[in-house]
Chain A
């Protein structure tokens, strides 16, 4: 009797567990996340480990230093570098124009920048191949000045640049938007020329984002496959990228060789990914003054 009488006055209470988390759903959401990350992202890596650990070091070394494969590393690296530097320049230009100026069609340009993310890579591949083929819209003009793009490493650069240009624009754009006009005004009022203001005031706050964008663009280009294979011509020792080498080894049912090359590519991309994240964390901290 007395307990029920007390229950009438006491506030609602549930004694017992001492919950450290105020918001609900910690266990559930983290549980789902960890389960998913383990199952979808991490578990598949074990297959690669098992496959490559079945090889002797000599086999592994022989596979990854095969001259044709080494040539594919070189081609992939220099084309990816060229494409990401091209994107660094023109991505910065696009971001600048989109943030600083008003002009008719601006919203359309802004929307279209994301097209390479939305367009399937195979579609991009056949489209670029068609445009740059000898009688294509671009190819016939370029042929007149003696420039061949389709079926050459230059085609690889074009495909890589197309698929990864949004990375630069979208990382630089928000930083440009955040720049305070007061800093520029201060510099201009002190008599600095436009070029000097850009170098001394704008570029210092811009370059970390630009580097991040170029690095993301580079990472994406290293792994690109769909857009490249249609335009590259895939000539051994000349225009084969490493992704394609893995694919070719797979079609030869040489899983071990495919795994060996893939483990190298995977390692490189994971290192790139972690470095970019660390780097971003560091410069964000600096910007926020923490």
Chain B
């Protein structure tokens, strides 16, 4: 069942939690609401569920306006951040709760409820824990019971609030895969809230990035990563190296540093965003850029080597980070304290107060320049 969010506004006291949010969630997809705390993502999720009411705007499920519908009647599954398992009911009783709450006419027989619960316990791979109480479960087990409980009434929409927030890294990874598999098998429409960009990118079909009560960008994980559309999304998706300066004669200049920028208007402020994998290191400046940096630290992180550098003769608010493969690292052998030059492959330019960046690919421009000659 598709979900349409139509111009939702929400105020808490004087604080505007959601500002005119509109969004389409396609049927059968797993969508992530990604944002820092205070971005309004949880409020939006609770409004979709009906746990919170909006000040204005509509929520539609499969084209039907459900804004006026009580949460009880929306037929959604909801997984709470801290699971909210009923602590005085056993695992089996927790899972059966929704079925037993159905109106008499729709309620399955006791026998049938027992079978459905057994099946769900099978699905979450915990059949032997049926008689346990929530306090006797580990975090990952609680999470799975919460999911089974939400799915027992076969909702067509599943909403999850920070589903993996309280779990340790290993369990989190397993559960993510398991949820993905579950989703692919049952094909409900799911929305989950997270502040972890890695989780959003790994798990979802579609990522909605939120900031200060507004939607910043909506795209598939790969699309989002390839084309972030605002400074905020850049910052939020991981580390980014920034050169801010003034455009002078086809160059972005600040102190001793410059980068050639063909076809950009003169005399304006601009920021160039370069992600760690979009930059290479060289012992001498290139024709397209001169970005002197001194190596501050080198750390080996899994499959790559991360090098932290400080600008030399120019300034940057944050330290620069450049990633390289182990092979590259062995070949170049950079050492702490040495002076190197960053050479960008691809960059994203924010000019003055324009919101969207322009992507600049120097390999392409160089090739074009070469052929022009």
Direct A–B contact present (CB less than 8 angstroms): yes
The answer, yes or no, to whether B71 is at the interface (CB within 8 Å) is yes
In angstroms, how far is the closest chain B Cβ from the Cβ of A5? 16
Taking a contact as CB atoms under 8 Å apart, the answer to whether B70 and A19 are in contact is yes
Q: Which of B50, B67, B75 contacts A11 (CB 8 A)?
A: B75
| A19 to B52 alpha-carbon distance, docked (Å) | 10
The answer, yes or no, to whether B51 is at the interface (CB within 8 Å) is yes
Q: Which of A14, A18, A20, A22 contacts B73 (CB 8 A)?
A: A14
In angstroms, how far is the closest chain A Cβ from the Cβ of B367? 57
The answer, yes or no, to whether A13 is at the interface (CB within 8 Å) is yes
Taking a contact as CB atoms under 8 Å apart, the answer to whether A10 and B64 are in contact is yes
Taking a contact as CB atoms under 8 Å apart, the answer to whether A13 and B69 are in contact is yes
In the complex, which range does the number of interface residues on chain A fall in?
Answer: 10 to 19
| A247 to B373 alpha-carbon distance, docked (Å) | 111
| Cβ contacts under 8 Å, B50 to chain A | 22
In angstroms, how far is the closest chain B Cβ from the Cβ of A125? 43
The answer, yes or no, to whether B68 is at the interface (CB within 8 Å) is yes
The answer, yes or no, to whether A267 is at the interface (CB within 8 Å) is no
The answer, yes or no, to whether B53 is at the interface (CB within 8 Å) is yes
| Cβ contacts under 8 Å, B64 to chain A | 10-11, 13
In angstroms, how far is the closest chain B Cβ from the Cβ of A146? 61
| Cβ contacts under 8 Å, A18 to chain B | 53, 67-68
The binding surface of chain A is classed by DSSP as loop
Taking a contact as CB atoms under 8 Å apart, the answer to whether A20 and B53 are in contact is yes
| Cβ contacts under 8 Å, A10 to chain B | 64
| Cβ contacts under 8 Å, B71 to chain A | 22
Q: Render B42-84 as a binary contact track against A, CB cut-off 8 A, 1 for contact.
A: 0000000011110000000100101111110111000000000
Given that A18-B68, A19-B70 are known contacts, is A12 also in contact with B75, CB under 8 Å in the complex? Answer: yes
| A137 to B327 alpha-carbon distance, docked (Å) | 92
The answer, yes or no, to whether A181 is at the interface (CB within 8 Å) is no
Taking a contact as CB atoms under 8 Å apart, the answer to whether B70 and A14 are in contact is yes
Q: Which single residue of chain A is at the shortest CB-CB distance from B71?
A: A22
Taking a contact as CB atoms under 8 Å apart, the answer to whether A22 and B51 are in contact is yes
In angstroms, how far is the closest chain B Cβ from the Cβ of A191? 36
Taking a contact as CB atoms under 8 Å apart, the answer to whether A16 and B68 are in contact is yes
| Cβ contacts under 8 Å, A17 to chain B | 68
Taking a contact as CB atoms under 8 Å apart, the answer to whether A15 and B69 are in contact is yes
| Cβ contacts under 8 Å, A20 to chain B | 53
| Cβ contacts under 8 Å, A11 to chain B | 61, 64, 73-75
In angstroms, how far is the closest chain A Cβ from the Cβ of B57? 13
Taking a contact as CB atoms under 8 Å apart, the answer to whether A14 and B69 are in contact is yes
Chain B interface, number of residues (Cβ within 8 angstroms): 17
Taking a contact as CB atoms under 8 Å apart, the answer to whether A15 and B51 are in contact is no
| A14 to B71 alpha-carbon distance, docked (Å) | 11
Q: Which single residue of chain B is at the shortest CB-CB distance from A17?
A: B68
| A10 to B106 alpha-carbon distance, docked (Å) | 14
| A10 to B61 alpha-carbon distance, docked (Å) | 11
Q: Which of A19-51 contact B (CB under 8 A)?
A: 19-20, 22
Most buried by A among B70, B71, B75: B70
| A18 to B53 alpha-carbon distance, docked (Å) | 9
Taking a contact as CB atoms under 8 Å apart, the answer to whether A12 and B68 are in contact is no
In angstroms, how far is the closest chain A Cβ from the Cβ of B188? 13
| Cβ contacts under 8 Å, B51 to chain A | 22
| Cβ contacts under 8 Å, A22 to chain B | 50-52, 70-71
Q: Which single residue of chain B is at the shortest CB-CB distance from A10?
A: B64
| A19 to B50 alpha-carbon distance, docked (Å) | 10
In angstroms, how far is the closest chain A Cβ from the Cβ of B56? 12
In angstroms, how far is the closest chain A Cβ from the Cβ of B11? 13
| A16 to B75 alpha-carbon distance, docked (Å) | 17
Q: Which single residue of chain B is at the shortest CB-CB distance from A15?
A: B68
Q: Which single residue of chain A is at the shortest CB-CB distance from B64?
A: A10
| A14 to B73 alpha-carbon distance, docked (Å) | 7
In angstroms, how far is the closest chain A Cβ from the Cβ of B144? 25
| Cβ contacts under 8 Å, B70 to chain A | 14, 19, 22
| Cβ contacts under 8 Å, B103 to chain A | 12
| Cβ contacts under 8 Å, A16 to chain B | 68
| Cβ contacts under 8 Å, B61 to chain A | 11
In angstroms, how far is the closest chain A Cβ from the Cβ of B118? 26
| A16 to B67 alpha-carbon distance, docked (Å) | 10
Q: Which single residue of chain A is at the shortest CB-CB distance from B61?
A: A11
| A20 to B50 alpha-carbon distance, docked (Å) | 9
| A18 to B55 alpha-carbon distance, docked (Å) | 12
Q: Which single residue of chain B is at the shortest CB-CB distance from A16?
A: B68
Q: Which single residue of chain A is at the shortest CB-CB distance from B50?
A: A22
| A210 to B237 alpha-carbon distance, docked (Å) | 49
Q: List 9 extra interface pairs beyond A12-B106, A22-B70, CB under 8 A.
A: A11-B64, A11-B74, A13-B64, A13-B66, A14-B73, A15-B68, A17-B68, A19-B70, A20-B53
Report which A residues bind B (CB closer than 8 A).
Answer: 10-20, 22
Report which B residues bind A (CB closer than 8 A).
Answer: 50-53, 61, 64, 66-71, 73-75, 103, 106
20 A–B pairs (Cβ distance < 8 Å), ordered by A: A10-B64, A11-B64, A11-B74, A11-B75, A12-B73, A12-B75, A12-B106, A13-B64, A13-B66, A13-B69, A14-B69, A14-B73, A15-B69, A17-B68, A18-B68, A19-B70, A22-B51, A22-B52, A22-B70, A22-B71
User: Nearest 5 A-B pairs (CB), nearest first?
Assistant: A11-B75, A18-B68, A20-B53, A22-B51, A14-B73
